[in-house]
Structure 1
Amino acid sequence: MHATMDLETPPLPLLPRTPEEGARRIALSFLDQAAAAFPRLQDPADTEALHDYRVALRRLRSCLRAYRPVLGGSPGKKLLRRLRRLAQATGPGRDLEVQMEWLRAQAKHLAASHRAGLTWMVQQLEGQMPAALHQVRDHLEEEFPVLEQGLRQSLSVYRTEVHLDPRAEPPSFGAVTAGILREQVDELAAHLSRIADEDDETEAHEARICGKRLRYLLEPLLEELPAAAPLVKRLKGLQEVLGDLHDAHVLETGLAAATVRAATDRYAGLFVLAIQEAPDPQALRAARRGAVENGLIALGRLNRARRDRLFRKLHEDWLGGRAADFLAELRSVIEP
């Protein structure tokens, strides 16, 4: 039989409901969050709109991924691809904002002779921002209304079976979620156990994604699972440390590439100056000085120190078996 959900009915409690209904109600709540943030993106003064929209799409994708086995092929692949494109389009703009915020905060830690590198790097990132925001707006204006309509239609109606024999009663949404939770906790534990050192960007990144998925799985259920609140809070702390560590890894790569570009530009200019019939000695000295590269290297040192501090905190709180008790508690927070 087909079931059409009454979206005016209070959504709690979710755990005793069928898996099909519980998953759809949570997915629709995330879609509502994205739809609420969507018009705010047109307001340049709303600095949190992009973040809120991006997080809502991530939560929605994570929900649909986690509950895919009980959603019966709904939403379809075309809608899921559209959702993925929109979520990915929001990434570059937000990443640029995060990098510029950290870089500007380093001005007080730099010698005056190194601030040329900071100015140059921020200008480079600012130059990339219009294209990143344009990409977001283009995708949003064209695709989000279509995506929202398609997802609402797909998620609001589903086919279900009614079992009159109590021995054939299917598992509840809570039981299904408990199984998903255990699988995700095991995945997080595996990635944490494989983080070898400060340079292990891949495993740290995967652990961050696992922690985020666990948060997104539990947060809609906190009213029914008050014992999960401190666990979600600690997961958020893990996500923040791993997120900052990821930002440090990404920025180090960016600073290295920027230093190469700055040096290439400087030597090209130095060549032009040097082959002139009567080179300007002062201009030659300035070109040889490499103030921008020296500033970028100074920023690289500050960023490396940040990376190392973050890894020490990660190691002290989460690695080497230190998270075993927490992970065990997390695995059993939902009684199947």
Structure 2
Amino acid sequence: MQEHSLPERRVTSCGVAGRLRYNRLRSRNAPVLEPGASYHDRFRLAGARMTGSHPLKAPLERRVRALVRSIRPMLAGDVEPLHQCRVATRRLRELLPLCEAELTGRLAGRARRRARGLGRTLGPVRELDVALDLVLELEQEGWAQPAGAARLRQRVREERDRQRQRMYTRLKPAALRKVERDVAEVLKAIGTHDATDEWALVLSTRIERRAERLREAVREAGPMYVSERVHEVRIVGKQLRYALELTVDTGAAGAAAEQTASAVAGLKQLQETLGRLHDLEILQGLLRSIESPIGRSEAWATQLDALDRDITEECRRLHGQFVAGQAKLLDISRIATRLASRMWNAHGGRSGGGRVLKMTLGGADAPRASHGRR
């Protein structure tokens, strides 16, 4: 694991109560934090104490490590670590409600909210990183001519610098430490917790709800190209995909693992198509925000007009692919619904499961109509 990017937190004396707890851990031959140990030592020792075999332990550990590993290079301005950090927060948001169903207290819920806040802070910068790469790609493929590409690149960089400065203003060191602390403590708690059926019941309910949302979103999108409706399909499809991946990671898919993996592959294909469409829409919005010169003709302005038309045509082509694949998406949603039903029954689910339903509703991240990429 890479070193932490923020000033290290030091474990200091915490009075008589702390010393008694320290001695009890000593008596159990458990690894403990010596005075002066860093925050990352706390994370490593949390892993060292995990000897259970909770189904959520391994996927949670992978996601926590991905988050911690990406923060330092992300703050240094690297593009790919920012993307990895954002993906880690998304996957944690899918997993932490299951931990919340297993654990007492509010720790997992608090960790989920903080991970969500971090992911949303990173979103605008990630969109503009993608837009900048897209300008280069379009120029290399001959879609964008040199003068137009240079002007568009300048506009994207201006907006990215503005959003990056805003991101740095919001990413306070103390807030980042709280995110890492909370997810590490959830990891430690799950690692020492005996598994119940609660997490699987929550997961099955979330899959069922998201499969239904996907069906509704696809039907509302229909054959017409309405950007907001297509964007909603993309968001809900991504959420369903993350939930289905967890059934494979935890073994909850059982005999349906192969069919579930095929459904996940179909949703990834959807993401590639609609993700590309969304990226082009973002770039086109930036292109159209550039003011054309008044009273004179500039080569870059003429080139950007041509690029605008080409992007419009490409967006319509990608939307046509989406419409052609809508029937497949409906099939995937039905596969997901059947899997959710089998999981519910296999784990002793009953109608009106109060705590499970409460945890599911409390932990769900409902999709919102938005132009921002998540």
Q: TM-score range by the shorter chain?
A: 0.7 to 0.9
Given that 2:86 and 2:122 are in contact with CA atoms closer than 8 Å, whether structure 1 keeps it comes out as: yes
Please give the alpha-carbon distance, in whole angstroms, between the structure 2 residues aligned to 1:42 and 1:307: 33
Shift of 1:31: 2.5
Please give the alpha-carbon distance, in whole angstroms, between the structure 2 residues aligned to 1:111 and 1:219: 38
Which residue in 2 is equivalent to 1:86?
A: 118
Which residue in 1 is equivalent to 2:222?
A: 196
Q: Is the alpha carbon distance of 1:68 and 1:308 closer, same or farther for their aligned partners in structure 2, counting shifts above 3 Å?
A: farther
Letter in 2 for 1:326: I
Deviates more, 1:204-213 or 1:81-90: 81-90
Unaligned runs of 5+ in 2: 1-45, 344-374
Matched, 1:175 2:201: yes
Unaligned runs of 5+ in 1: 15-21, 163-169, 268-286
Matched, 1:215 2:241: yes
Percent identity between matched residues is 23
Please give the alpha-carbon distance, in whole angstroms, between the structure 2 residues aligned to 1:66 and 1:212: 18
Given that 1:74 and 1:155 are in contact with CA atoms closer than 8 Å, whether structure 2 keeps it comes out as: no
Given that 2:98 and 2:199 are in contact with CA atoms closer than 8 Å, whether structure 1 keeps it comes out as: no
Please give the alpha-carbon distance, in whole angstroms, between the structure 2 residues aligned to 1:288 and 1:190: 49
Shift of 1:179: 2.2
Q: TM-score, normalised by structure 1?
A: 0.73
Letter in 1 for 2:329: A
Shift of 1:196: 3.4
Give 2:337's match in structure 1, choosing from 326, 331, 335.
Answer: 331
Letter in 2 for 1:180: R
When the two chains are superposed, the root-mean-square deviation of aligned CA atoms in Å is: 3.4
Which residue in 2 is equivalent to 1:251?
A: 283
Please give the alpha-carbon distance, in whole angstroms, between the structure 2 residues aligned to 1:100 and 1:311: 22
Q: Is the alpha carbon distance of 1:42 and 1:253 closer, same or farther for their aligned partners in structure 2, counting shifts above 3 Å?
A: closer
Which residue in 1 is equivalent to 2:297?
A: 289
Given that 1:37 and 1:49 are in contact with CA atoms closer than 8 Å, whether structure 2 keeps it comes out as: yes
Shift of 1:111: 7.6
CA distances 1:276-331 after superposition (whole Å, capped 9, x unpaired): xxxxxxxxxxx61133332221111121121111111111112xx44333322222
Q: Is the alpha carbon distance of 1:288 and 1:125 closer, same or farther for their aligned partners in structure 2, counting shifts above 3 Å?
A: same
Given that 2:155 and 2:286 are in contact with CA atoms closer than 8 Å, whether structure 1 keeps it comes out as: no
Please give the alpha-carbon distance, in whole angstroms, between the structure 2 residues aligned to 1:94 and 1:304: 22
Shift of 1:192: 0.7
Which residue in 2 is equivalent to 1:274?
A: none
Deviates more, 1:69-78 or 1:143-152: 69-78
Shift of 1:131: 3.5
Given that 1:79 and 1:147 are in contact with CA atoms closer than 8 Å, whether structure 2 keeps it comes out as: yes
Shift of 1:67: 7.0
Which residue in 2 is equivalent to 1:310?
A: 318
Given that 2:148 and 2:303 are in contact with CA atoms closer than 8 Å, whether structure 1 keeps it comes out as: yes
In our comparison, the structure showing a higher alpha carbon Rg is 1
Give 2:82's match in structure 1, choosing from 44, 50, 65.
Answer: 50
CA distances 1:149-172 after superposition (whole Å, capped 9, x unpaired): 1343356448xxx9xxxxxxx845
Task: Indicate the SS of the match to 1:199.
Answer: coil
Q: Is the alpha carbon distance of 1:32 and 1:51 closer, same or farther for their aligned partners in structure 2, counting shifts above 3 Å?
A: same
Which residue in 2 is equivalent to 1:273?
A: none
Q: TM-score, normalised by structure 2?
A: 0.66
Give 1:133's match in structure 2, choosing from 164, 167, 181.
Answer: 164
Given that 1:215 and 1:235 are in contact with CA atoms closer than 8 Å, whether structure 2 keeps it comes out as: yes
Shift of 1:140: 5.9
Task: Indicate the SS of the match to 1:333.
Answer: helix
